[in-house]
């Protein structure tokens, strides 16, 4: 009897298995649009509301295929490795710390998009033939837990120097520069602030008990006092927009704030890929990213500010997310030339 | 056929990446690659990799053996549930486990007083957490069908239980133990997320270094140097393991011993199993607790949110859709790795007539283990630059994900089946043939009854490996069809009041699904067929 039952069970399982398999399932589930498809290559933080993407498809007549994986660095290196035979038509998400590498390797084709008012301020220095179009801007800033400092009767730090002050010993947690683009931005902020003396600053910072984590998630969600895991460090490296996410229901004040004198500006670009199969479609997508609808959706979808002036920000952002007026900056060409050397020196300093 | 598959999906991409490193500007420059190996940092990295993987492997084997015995030879209530539950860590995404471990060990966590956060001990604990299931599964399956009579005979002749274990049982299990240890070592040596998250960036392994060199610095020369080093080391390891695994006469008399009730002598083993369970349960406990936590209280809101796209549209598809994708992909990956694995196992275990043929067979055996020892980053980037021209334009195929996962699961399948298949006395096949049975019938009557159970074990294993695979999948999965681990990674990386809780809830669902599937697979074990 058992064997009969077992056989029945087995047959049932096999039938179920066959029904579950993805083989034979056609990969394109709807009729192809007249204009063919346009393939977007991006990083895995890319996100826009679905209706908006549908709107692009209906208005332009192209099918949009999104291929996202890795962070901005992985994205750039993928594009460099597949230069001339790209894995898509248009790329979004190369930022100003990686842009020079992409330009040097001729990853992008020139496309002079009509920029909305204000966007020109964020154009990449040295990009004379318009290969990269600025889309959004965000700042990596040190954030503090105001409630923690209030209950400990301590004035929160304000500057980079303060972070190395023994008053704030063992309170700072940040993602490392080697494994996190957020961490890299902070390293660049210190390079901009201290010039060749940045290693001395880092020596002091580490001696003051700064804790390094692999990524932003770890630092914010596990170690930060206002993160999901209720950690024990009230100073964390995050973004200028982060305070907009720590407003409790019904409250009129954020429990955290960004230190605007510690920020490094990150601009994300889009561009048409050299050798793209669908150049027209790629150009249409770049224009779409600059449209008012997308620019207005950027804060809620990707936690960054639009490059266009006069776009309405979500109410939480308007009240709680403040942008720095003079963020630190390093010339992209300098970053490209010294990234290796800086990261190596940084790794040696911090793994001691 | 299996060789061709591995050739296209493994050898081609990896050699493509290596070629970029050896020919940096179109000219062959092996000196530059060799120069990398002289860097002091590289020595430190290699030493740490070997050290952490060796320690983690030894600990996994030591903890896994008593549990394998208890769960596969003894009979007690809840045995199958525990067996299924122990596979759960295997499928959890490293990001989530890393966070769970850190919540436990961190300065403010319940175990924070141990001061283990960011220490090598934490890394080893994380590696053991992931891999102990491999030891239990591989060794347990072999142990289950081990003939108890030689042991009983030794005991009747006055051998103490310890002597029986040392002189009869362990030697008979040696092939399975070495198999398991090899796989675990390879998993540990190529572990990535755990080393980064739990090591607090102070420790780098060869794998994390390749990742950094490839994705951040684009120093392909150095990455190629490390990849070659990895390949050579893996090959040497496999050769050594092959030797250690070899026994003069691999054939073992098979009977399926009925599991017995635990006796007094089993208490130490059972105690060790319970300790292991506690060790596995602790991080899982923090996960479940975290997933039930909502704004200042407890509730199921995070679970209810799984059908949505997360706060602020963090996801393109809800977690429930991703779960369907995951299950479908896993089904495909399972049948692919099972069919390939069976062919390989049969090829490898057939009796060789000449020494050259035997060497070829063992070589083949090792060849299929190689994917475990090579960096997922190298493979992923290799896919992009080599599989882009017809007739092998696979960059856009929906089958790429299951194929990649099948390659990862293949060694597990092969290692589970080979020791058992090798244990079949070839004379049985000859007897069947001389009685007039064709090759197919011989296989059905001689081999199939023996490999039936291991095959089920292997399929469960492959399924679990596919459900949890993140490295290759995140690289290849299409954005509109992500798997659950990919979705969890997105959720956990996006700020927003509920995304963190949802990520934990999704992990719990993934774990529960796995456990459920394992339970069903266990139900399919058919005693009457196995005991022939």
How do A256-273 and A63-68 pair as beta strands?
unpaired
Torsional class of A161: left (φ above 0), alpha (ψ -120 to 50), beta (otherwise): alpha
Residue found by looking up tokens 């933080």 in the block:
A45
**Tens-digit pLDDT string for chain B (532 aa):** 677 777 777 888 888 888 887 877 767 777 777 777 877 778 888 899 999 999 999 999 999 988 888 888 887 777 878 887 777 787 677 767 777 787 788 766 777 777 777 788 888 999 999 888 888 888 887 887 777 788 888 888 888 888 888 888 888 888 888 888 988 998 888 887 788 777 767 778 888 888 888 877 778 888 888 888 888 888 888 888 877 777 655 555 556 566 777 777 777 778 888 888 888 888 888 888 878 877 667 777 778 777 776 665 566 678 888 888 888 888 898 998 888 888 888 888 777 777 888 778 777 777 888 887 787 778 878 877 776 665 555 556 677 788 888 888 888 888 778 777 777 777 878 888 888 888 788 877 777 777 777 788 788 878 888 888 877 777 776 666 788 888 887 777 666 667 778 888 888 888 888 888 877 777 765 443 333 2
Residue A2 has a pLDDT of 46
Decide: B75 and A197 in contact? Cβ < 8 Å.
no
Cβ separation B106–A13 shorter than 8 A:
no
Q: Which domains does chain A have, with CATH numbers?
A: 37-137+267-320 (3.40.190.10), 139-265+323-350 (3.40.190.10)
The answer to whether A39 touches A67, Cβ cutoff 8 Å, is yes
CA distance A206 to A210: 5
CA atoms A206, A209, A214, A219: torsion sign: negative
Q: pLDDT value at position A192?
A: 95
CA distance B463 to B329: 9
| B200, B475, B480: residue with CB nearest A212 | B200
Residue A28: predicted pLDDT: 42
Mean pLDDT of A189-205: 95
Q: Say if residues B510 and B91 touch (Cβ distance below 8 Å).
A: yes
A218, A213, A200: which is closest to A349 by C-alpha? A200
Interface of B with A in 290-349 (CB under 8 A): 290, 295, 312-316, 327-329, 331-332, 335
pLDDT digits (tens, 9 = 90+) for A102-131: 888 899 999 998 999 989 989 988 888 899
CA-based nearest residue to B173, from B153, B150, B156, B155: B150
| Residue A187, burial from CB neighbour count under 10 angstroms (0-12, 13-18, 19+) | buried
SS3 A119: helix
- Measured between beta carbons, the chain B residues lying within 8 angstroms of A85 are 388
pLDDT value of residue B169:
83
The beta-carbon neighbor of B201 closest among A45, A300, A350 is: A350
Cβ-based neighbour number of residue B171 at 10 Å: 12
* Closest residue in B to A53 (Cα–Cα): B316
Query: What pLDDT sits at residue B530?
Result: 34
Check residue A327 and report its DSSP letter.
-
* Contact assessment for residue B399 and residue B477, using Cβ atoms and an 8 Å cutoff: no
- Disruptive mutation site among A100, A171, A211, A214 for chain B (greatest number of B CBs within 10 Å): A214
Q: Which DSSP state fits B146?
A: B
Query: Distance (Å, rounded) from C-alpha A261 to C-alpha A140?
Result: 11
Distance CA B465, CA A85 (A): 33
Q: How far apart are CA B309 and CA B316, in angstroms?
A: 6
**Beta-bridge partners for A92:** A42, A270
Q: Check CB contact of B531 with chain A, cutoff 8 Å.
A: no
Could you count the other beta carbons within 10 Å of the beta carbon of residue B437?
A: 16
Rounded Cα distance between A30 and B129, Å, is 44
Residues of A in contact with B381 (CB under 8 A): 77-78, 81
Contact between B492 and A217 using a beta-carbon 8 Å cutoff: yes
- Give the residue-averaged pLDDT of A238-264: 87
Q: Which of residues 451-490 of B touch A (CB under 8 A)?
A: 474-480, 489-490
Report helix, strand or coil for B495: coil
**Higher pLDDT, residue A322 or B31:** A322
Contact status of B217 with chain A (Cβ, < 8 Å): yes
Residues B226 and A177: their CA atoms lie apart, in Å, by 21
A22 or A192, greater pLDDT = A192
Rounded to two decimals, the pTM is 0.78
- Checking if the pLDDT of A29 tops 50, the result is no
Domain definitions of chain B by residue range: 2-255+287-530
**Number of C-alpha atoms within 13 angstroms, CB side, residue B192?**
20
| Count of beta carbons in the 10 Å neighbourhood of residue A200 | 12
For residue A18, pLDDT beyond 60: no
Asked if residues A274 and A84 have their Cβ atoms less than 8 Å apart, the reply is yes
Q: CB distance B528–A2 less than 8 Å? A: yes
Chain B, residues 108-137, CB within 8 A of chain A, namely: 108, 118
Of the pLDDT bands very low, low, confident and very high (cuts 50, 70, 90), residue A20 is low
Give A222's contacts in chain B (Cβ within 8 Å). 99, 102-103, 106
Q: DSSP secondary-structure letter at A244?
A: G
Euclidean distance between CA atoms A242 and A245, whole angstroms: 6
The yes/no answer to whether this complex scores an ipTM above 0.85 is no
B384 to A176: CB separation less than 8 angstroms, yes or no: no
Interchain contact, A45 vs B493, CB within 8 Å? yes
Q: How remote is the C-alpha of A218 from its chain's centroid?
A: 16
What is the average pLDDT value for chain A, to the nearest integer?
Answer: 85
∠ CA A256-A258-A264, nearest 5°, is 155
Distance from CA of B271 to the nearest CA of A (A): 32
The reported pLDDT for the residue numbered B122 is 87
Q: Which helix (H) or strand (E) holds A347?
A: helix A332-350
| Cβ <8 Å between A222 and B99 | yes
d(CA A269, CA A135) in angstroms, rounded, equals 5
Tokens of B337: 């790795």
Question: Are A81 and B384 inside 8 Å of each other by CB?
Answer: yes
Q: Which residues of A touch B23 (CB under 8 A)?
A: none
What is the least distance, in Å, from the CA of B107 to any CA of chain A? 7
**Selected residue of A30, A178, A244, A314 to mutate for chain B interface (largest B Cβ count, 10 A):** A178
Alpha-carbon distance A295 to nearest alpha carbon in chain B (angstroms): 15
Residue A30's pLDDT band (boundaries 50, 70, 90)?
very low
Contact B201 A74 (CB under 8 A): no
Dist CA A300 CA B417 (whole Å): 51
The topology under which CATH files domain B2-255+287-530 is MetI-like fold (1.10.3720)
- Output the pLDDT for position A152: 94
Q: Do A228 and B501 touch (CB under 8 A)?
A: yes
Query: Under a CB-based contact definition with an 8 Å cutoff, are residues A164 and A204 in contact?
Result: yes
């Amino acid at each position: 009897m058992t064997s009969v039952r077992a056989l029945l069970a087995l047959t049932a399982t096999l039938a179920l298995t066959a029904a579950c398999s993805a083989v034979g399932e056609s990969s394109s589930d709807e009729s192809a649009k007249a204009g063919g498809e346009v393939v977007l290559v991006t990083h895995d933080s890319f996100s826009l509301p679905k209706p908006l993407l549908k709107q692009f498809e209906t208005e332009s007549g192209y099918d949009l295929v999104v291929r996202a994986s890795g962070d901005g660095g992985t994205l750039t290196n993928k594009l460099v490795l597949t230069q001339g035979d790209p894995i898509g038509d248009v790329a979004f998400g190369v930022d100003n710390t990686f842009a020079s590498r992409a330009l040097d390797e001729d990853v992008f084709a020139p496309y002079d998009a009509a920029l909305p008012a204000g966007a020109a301020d964020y154009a990449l220095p040295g990009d004379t033939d318009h290969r990269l179009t600025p889309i959004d801007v965000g700042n990596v800033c040190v954030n503090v837990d105001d409630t923690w400092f209030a209950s400990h009767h301590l004035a929160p730090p304000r500057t980079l120097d303060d972070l190395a002050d023994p008053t704030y010993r063992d309170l700072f947690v940040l993602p490392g520069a080697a494994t996190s683009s957020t961490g890299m931005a902070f390293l660049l902020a210190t390079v901009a602030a201290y010039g060749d003396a940045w290693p001395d600053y880092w020596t002091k910072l580490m001696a003051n008990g700064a804790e390094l984590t692999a990524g932003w998630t770890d630092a914010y969600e596990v170690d930060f006092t206002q993160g999901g895991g209720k950690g024990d460090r009230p100073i964390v490296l995050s973004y200028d927009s982060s305070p907009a996410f720590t407003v409790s229901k019904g409250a009129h004040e954020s429990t955290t704030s960004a230190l605007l004198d510690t920020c490094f500006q990150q601009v994300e670009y889009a561009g048409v890929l050299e050798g793209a199969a669908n150049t027209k479609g790629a150009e249409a997508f770049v224009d779409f990213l600059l449209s008012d609808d997308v620019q207005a959706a950027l804060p809620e979808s990707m936690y960054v500010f639009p490059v266009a002036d006069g776009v309405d920000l979500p109410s939480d952002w308007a009240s709680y997310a403040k942008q720095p007026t003079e963020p630190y900056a390093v010339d992209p060409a300098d970053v490209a030339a010294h990234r290796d050397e800086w990261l190596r020196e940084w790794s040696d300093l911090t793994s001691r | 056929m299996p060789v061709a598959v591995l050739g296209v999906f493994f050898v081609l991409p990896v050699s493509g990446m290596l070629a970029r490193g050896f020919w940096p500007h179109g000219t062959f420059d092996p000196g530059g690659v060799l120069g990398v190996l002289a860097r002091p940092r590289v020595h430190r990295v290699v030493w740490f990799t070997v050290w952490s993987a060796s320690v983690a492997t030894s600990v996994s084997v030591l903890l896994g053996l008593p549990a394998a015995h208890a769960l596969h030879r003894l009979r007690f209530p809840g045995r199958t549930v525990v067996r299924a539950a122990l596979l759960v860590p295997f499928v959890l995404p490293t990001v989530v486990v890393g966070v769970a471990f850190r919540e436990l060990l961190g300065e403010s966590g319940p175990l924070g007083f141990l001061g283990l956060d960011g220490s090598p001990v934490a890394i080893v604990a994380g590696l053991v957490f992931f891999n102990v299931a491999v030891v239990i599964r591989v060794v347990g399956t072999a142990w289950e069908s081990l003939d108890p009579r030689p042991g009983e005979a030794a005991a009747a002749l006055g051998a103490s239980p310890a002597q029986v274990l040392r002189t009869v049982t362990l030697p008979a299990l040696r092939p399975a133990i070495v198999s398991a240890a090899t796989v675990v070592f390879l998993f540990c040596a190529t572990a990535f997320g755990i080393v980064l998250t739990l090591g607090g960036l102070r420790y780098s392994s060869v794998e994390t270094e390749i990742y950094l060199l490839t994705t951040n610095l684009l120093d392909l020369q150095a990455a190629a140097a490390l990849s070659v080093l990895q390949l050579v080391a893996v090959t040497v390891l496999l050769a050594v393991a092959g030797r250690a695994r070899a026994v003069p006469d691999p054939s073992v008399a098979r009977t399926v011993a009925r599991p017995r009730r635990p006796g007094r002598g089993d208490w130490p083993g059972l105690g060790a199993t319970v300790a292991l369970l506690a060790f596995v349960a602790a991080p899982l406990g923090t996960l479940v607790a975290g997933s039930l936590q909502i704004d200042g209280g407890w509730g199921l809101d995070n679970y209810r949110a799984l059908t949505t796209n997360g706060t602020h549209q963090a996801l393109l598809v809800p977690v429930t859709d991703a779960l369907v994708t995951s299950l479908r992909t896993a089904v495909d990956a399972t049948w692919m790795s099972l069919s390939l694995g069976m062919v390989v196992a049969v090829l490898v275990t057939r009796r060789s007539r000449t020494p050259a043929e035997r060497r070829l067979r063992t070589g083949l055996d090792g060849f299929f283990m190689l994917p475990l020892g090579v960096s997922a980053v190298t493979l992923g980037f290799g896919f992009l630059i080599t599989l882009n021209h017809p007739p092998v334009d696979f960059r856009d195929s929906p089958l790429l994900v299951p194929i990649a996962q099948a390659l990862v699961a293949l060694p597990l399948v092969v290692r589970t089946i080979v020791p058992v298949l090798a244990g079949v006395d070839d004379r049985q096949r000859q007897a069947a043939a001389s009685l007039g049975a064709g090759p197919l019938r011989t296989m059905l009557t001689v081999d199939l009854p023996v490999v039936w159970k291991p095959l089920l074990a292997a399929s469960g294993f492959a399924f679990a490996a596919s459900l949890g695979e993140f490295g290759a999948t995140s690289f290849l999965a299409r954005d509109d069809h992500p798997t659950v681990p990919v979705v969890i990674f997105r959720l956990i990386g996006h700020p927003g009041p509920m995304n963190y809780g949802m990520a934990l809830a999704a992990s719990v669902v993934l774990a529960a699904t796995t456990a459920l599937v394992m339970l069903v697979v266990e139900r399919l074990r058919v005693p009457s067929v196995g005991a022939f």
